[in-house]
Amino acid sequence: MLLHIPRVLTAEQVALLRTRLDAADWTDGRATVGSQGARVKRNRQLPEHQPQAKELGGIVTAALAANPTFFAAALPARTMPPLFNRYESGEEYGVHIDGAVRMVADTGHQLRTDVSSTLFLSEPDDYEGGELVVHDTYGAHEVKLPAGDLILYPSTSRHEVTAVTRGCRVSAFFWTQSMIRDDHRRGMLFELDQAIHALRRRHGDSEETVVLAGHYHNLLRLWAET
């Protein structure tokens, strides 16, 4: 499931993060990937151990916790603290697939990467190139969203970030271990959840919406891993 979630951050939150990030000390992004990823990755990242990275990541984490669409789509068991990256002057990240397991900094815990998310912090007109391209059986999907918007997609997907030829692309990115490991099941639950909410908004509660909600929760109970 490839899903655009608008306005995860407010304009004020985006401005705050950009002010802090534009003044930050960035390091070579290849330090956080294995040998295969390092061959195709050219960008910069904010070191995850920096207090600034943890503070700004906390703002993103709080916004995600308050976003019902993100919860319904990702069904998170655990979400990794957000990281931040920056592309400019021809920097890019070639086609790759995210590692299946990530170590969560300062915890000693590991997280299975079921869902990948990119939260855009630059406006599309601020840079040229820099599209996130997600490849699946339906082809290549180019994504370039307004600042504050998020794209969510399966971590099993091959994806890339095209070269930034003008301006600067800044974003937050992170992974979620979902209660529902399988993307197809996760997508079915999301569509069922959204349909139930649409019916309730249109017609109010009824015996039928209660039955549908019961099926949703019983499927979640059947498939969930916590």
What residues have CB less than 8 Å from 104, skipping those under 6 apart? 78, 80, 81, 110, 111
Q: For 126-151, what is the mean pLDDT?
A: 97
Q: Is the model more confident about 23 or about 226?
A: 23
CB-CB contact of 75 with 154 (8 Å): no
pLDDT at residue 97, rounded to an integer: 94
Task: Dump pLDDT digits (tens) for 57-103.
Answer: 999 999 999 999 999 999 999 999 999 999 999 999 999 999 999 98
Pick the CATH number of 3-178 from 3.90.550.10, 3.30.360.10, 2.60.120.620, 3.10.180.10: 2.60.120.620
Q: What is residue 144's predicted lDDT score, i.e. its pLDDT?
A: 98
pLDDT tens sequence across 158-170: 999 999 999 999 9
